[in-house]
Amino acid sequence: MQCPKCGAEVGKFRNPVPTVDVIIEIKGRIVLIKRRNPPYGWALPGGFVDYGETLEDAARREAFEETGLRVSLAGQFHTYSDPKRDPRLHTVSTVFLAKAEGQPVGGDDALEAALFEPGNLPALVFDHEKILDDYCKSR
């Protein structure tokens, strides 16, 4: 099948999948979620960008679905694209910084959500340890 606009063969190429992750701070602590699905473990709230959705809307939606928190985005932090960052497939994640108030509660893909001190984090899945290390160094 060919794209009607550019003539490129649709489905011929494998492309990375866009995702978002959100570093949510509440009174100096970081919100993490315990994943319901593989890979299991603690992670930043985040997920796949839906078709027709902006990165910002995806970040707010994923944060709310997984933590119950309505976040205020402070901007983009960095984009992570190592093909090995996600063992399931090649993803490219745009990481957002956000503020929120209240107590996080796990929902949707998250078994639980909790607040952690930046210097006392649990083991993390994906490349989230690197992301949070970069974030702490940038502060």
E-strand ranges in 4-127 read 17-26, 29-35, 42-43, 46-48, 72-80, 91-99, 110-116
Asked if 112 is an active-site residue, the reply is yes
Task: Give the phi and the psi of residue 12 in degrees, each rounded to 5.
Answer: -75, -35
Conformation bin of residue 60: beta by default, left when phi > 0, alpha when psi is -120 to 50: alpha
Structure tokens at 35: 């994943």
From the list 53, 56, 112, 129, the catalytic residue is: 112
Tell me how long the chain is: 139
Q: What is the DSSP letter of 138?
A: H
Closest CA to 76 of 58, 92, 98: 98
End-to-end CA distance of the chain: 48
Positions annotated as catalytic residues are 112
